[in-house]
Amino acid sequence: MSRSIEHNVDAKRFQWMEDGKLCVLDYELHAGVMIITHTGVPESVGGRGIAGDLARAALDTARAQGWKVRPLCSYVDAWMRRQRGAYDDLRIS
């Protein structure tokens, strides 16, 4: 399934509504570094790949904007590692 994830710039959040439930990836932006702080998908809509789609949208946006990424969120950190190097160029400690 292809989702059109919304980038809510004012809230510094990527979001998607699934079955009436808000799914989010929150971040902060400091000096060209996207610091991903939280990914939340309600349990009732979990297991559908939503968190991965949120992560992909955030990282693709970071790449397009020329930002680096610091994944403080453990989900996004693990997700990036599973992508076989596709986003390694964005990661900073």
Per DSSP bridges, beta strands 33-40 and 68-71 are: parallel
2-61 residue pLDDT tens: 689 999 999 999 999 999 999 999 999 999 999 999 999 999 999 999 999 999 999 999
- Does this model's pTM top 0.85? yes
11 within a domain of the structure (yes/no): yes
Q: How many domains does the chain have?
A: 1
Per DSSP bridges, beta strands 68-71 and 6-8 are: unpaired
86 within a domain of the structure (yes/no): no
Tokens of 41: 């998908």
Domain of residue 37, residue span: 6-81
Per the listing, tokens 């989702």 go with 3
- CATH number for 51: 3.40.630.30
Nearest to 26 by CA among 65, 90, 75, 93: 75
53 within a domain of the structure (yes/no): yes
CA 3, distance to chain mean position in Å, is: 13
63 within a domain of the structure (yes/no): yes
